[in-house]
Copies of this chain bind each other. A is one copy, B any other.
Amino acid sequence: MFTGVAFDFQQYLGQKRSRIQAELERLLADNDPEILWESMRYSVLGGGKRIRGVLCLAAAEAAASKSGISADEAVLLALPCASAIEMIHAMSLIHDDLPCMDNDDLRRGRPTNHKVFGEATALLAGDALLVMASEVLMSRTPEQVEKSYLIDVALELVRTSGARGLVGGQVADMASTGLMDMPPSVAAEKLSMIHERKTGALIRFSVWSGARLCGADQDLLKAFKRYGEILGLSFQIADDLLDVTGSVESLGKTPGKDQAAGKLTWVSAYGVEGARAKLSDLEQEGKSILHHAGLSSETAAPLAALLEYSIHRQN
């Protein structure tokens, strides 16, 4: 599938990451109060794969190709949204790492936010990023995006972040420890629900929002929604596998923590081989969806490559 397309994924990823990084640096260039902004910058600018932001831009470019919008313009339209997504992702990591939550000391190979800035500042930096994401989306998205599209996307962003999305998933995840005694079918359903909210929702939003801002029609939005679901699920299964098979050097965080905590994961529920088989099925389905979405091979190539990358990455 997509054979014959000469596509340099690493170059694509590098270019898009740089755009997002530069935008985030510009957005976070404030110092009042200094410790708060330092703490926000520490987590938002300090590394990360930017997969969610890049997905948003890639989906925007792909949708734009069908709406008569140039790829360059698509990036401009979706860049505030991509930045907002990265802010939400960073804040969820800051709050998840807090002592009263997962109590993690290490993230992306560096001390976690509260280890550097203290718990109170880390908590407030997370709060600030959570609302700054909406601010950036609403105030920086170019005027040419229809107001009704913008409200749709802004509304979906907060839904994705809240009790029915990220936050609800985190609560369910905390409660999942010790649920390994459940019958496998119950455990599997529970696990899907947790991941759908905790990881899946923001990844799906990343793809959907980029397309929505660039005028995608209902068919493409539906295809991208399913592609986003597949990608989110793949991402989480790959994460669970890395927690078992990865090293602290390659991951930049402590592996084996889920296992040690007796947490329900794809690996604990299905075993390493079962999880790998599920990943393979998802990769096939995702590529098939892209193939039938009416995109040119060139336009679909980044999205296909992002799926492959999410599945086969080493960290």
Residue numbers of A with Cβ under 8 A of B are 30, 32-33, 35-37, 40, 95, 98, 100-101, 118-121, 123-124, 126-128, 130-132, 134-135, 138-139, 147-148, 150-151, 154-155, 158-159, 161-164, 167-168, 170-172, 174-175
Contact = CB atoms under 8 A, between A and B. Distances in A.
A147 to B, nearest CB: 4
Contact of A138 (B158, B170, B175): B158
A151 B162 contact: no
A130 B130 CA distance: 8
Contact of A155 (B128, B135, B161): B135
Given A127-B127, A150-B151, A174-B120, A168 B138 contact: no
A40 B163 CA distance: 10
Contacts of A148: 147
Given A36-B163, A128-B168, A135 B158 contact: yes
B128 A100 contact: no
B151 A147 contact: yes
A188 B36 CA distance: 22
The 4 closest A-B CB pairs, nearest first, are A100-B119, A128-B163, A131-B162, A131-B158
A120 B101 contact: yes
A131 B128 contact: no
A162 B123 contact: no
23 contacts: A32-B168, A33-B168, A33-B172, A95-B124, A100-B123, A120-B174, A121-B171, A123-B123, A124-B171, A127-B127, A128-B162, A128-B163, A128-B168, A130-B131, A131-B159, A134-B154, A135-B155, A135-B158, A135-B162, A138-B154, A138-B155, A150-B151, A151-B151
